[in-house]
Structure 1
């Protein structure tokens, strides 16, 4: 019995360090679509080596860029990957079996995180995201950051793991927290976020405890502790920057000399 044809969709920008592993794991797919936003390293050469169909456009934001890449796919079923993610042979085999007779409009896959110098402990809680879906019944959420795939129809969960390399060091993780918290201002500004001072004081601690204890990252040793602290820093930054933006609106004059 034949399976559904699959388009693998990846957005890129200077991802030469991780793209080869990403595309190597999906060489069995009928199509690989890469939408690049101006890479100056070996990203495009790596994509061409793997037979990808390469397109380019200026970066339009994470959600819009991914939606544009999805729209370029030739086949109905899409596997959406970040350029710093990869899947192994077991996950690939499960995806292929699922595509023989898909029972849902989309499927969530688990994601394992690289934390600075080690993988997160096998006993920590993994995040899961919709990554395999019928693109005629799905679209990106439109959020500036933490974008997700919204599916019209039922969503299943596959026992398949995506390996996410992310930021390889603390400097990269904190830089991402700073960048994402700035980008999230547009989303937060559309919501009626109240009690900002209290959120700045209390929410970072809540975020740390939830990540470190409830999600089990204490099992990853000091790497898990540092990751939880950076996560709490991000929780603080997004509300502090929203508070700053509101204060600037209230005090539109020149700064005090």
Structure 2
């Protein structure tokens, strides 16, 4: 770290991620410190973290957002680089991040994430999903959204020309199981928002979600893998609203009894 650069902390939360953690931490080796918060892994994840000289902490899992926030709170750095254990920075990303932190012009930065599509990485031209993963610790914190908890920043957020890769699910069955689990985890949170036009959302939004991904983000460039990804994304969009509608119907029935 030069005198002109702020300290950067790389943050990862883990639970039995031995297959992907080594590559994740290796890509973050340029950080001034690595903080790994483990939930009690039994597969060697903790040994991998120690091999990368990370500051290793072990805590019972408190939920996606609270667990990541606990890891962030343990950091010394002024800036946070947040990755999941099944993600890693693409070549060149470290240099881009360091160059930007030499003269930051925002409180947070969105990086582009490339998703593993069952049996392949996306083709050139596929548009990644931009996510806020680099932010000033004093201005950012995890939100309270269950399952999809993400950092939020009080201040300017800009896009950064740096990519990171997400291994994702290697099989369609695993992807569908995750979709089912995540959509169930969002029911209570989504139901509290009192979303309007539920019938229209159930009928039309899955198709909109499919077209936005398959055409808008050019997943059609990835053959059947891209089609499968867009269709499962649409199915997730359907399940989110279908389960909220189901919960409301059950609640109305129980109140009528």
Tell me whether the two structures share a fold, i.e. TM-score over 0.5: yes
Q: Distance in 2 between matches of 1:141 and 1:247?
A: 28
**In the TM superposition, what is the alpha-carbon distance from 1:153 to its structure 2 partner?**
1.7
Q: TM-score, normalised by structure 2?
A: 0.93
Counterparts in 2 of 1:155-234, with a 5 A limit? 155-234=157-236
Count of aligned pairs between the two proteins: 254
> Following the alignment from structure 1 to structure 2, what is the Cα–Cα distance between the partners of residues 203 and 88?
32
SS in 2 for 1:24: helix
1:129 to 107, 128, 131: 131
- 1:164 Cα deviation (Å)? 1.0
Residue 104 of structure 1 is matched in structure 2 by: 106
Which residue among 240, 243, 248 is the counterpart of 2:250? 248
Point out 4+ residue stretches in structure 1 off by more than 6 angstroms. none
- How does 1:78-97 map onto structure 2 within 5 Å? 78-97=80-99
SS at structure 1 position matched to 2:116:
strand
Structure 2: any 5+ residue segments left out of the alignment? none
1:19 to 21, 25, 32: 21
TM-score (norm 1): 0.93
Report the aligned-residue RMSD: 1.7
Counterpart-to-counterpart distance in 1, 2:28 and 2:238? 38
Matches of 1:35 and 1:191, distance apart in 2: 32
Deviation at 1:53, TM superposition (A): 0.8
* SS of corresponding position for 1:95: helix
| Cα separation, 1, equivalents of 2:208 and 2:250 | 27
Return the alpha-carbon distance in structure 1 between the equivalents of residues 237 and 76 of structure 2: 39
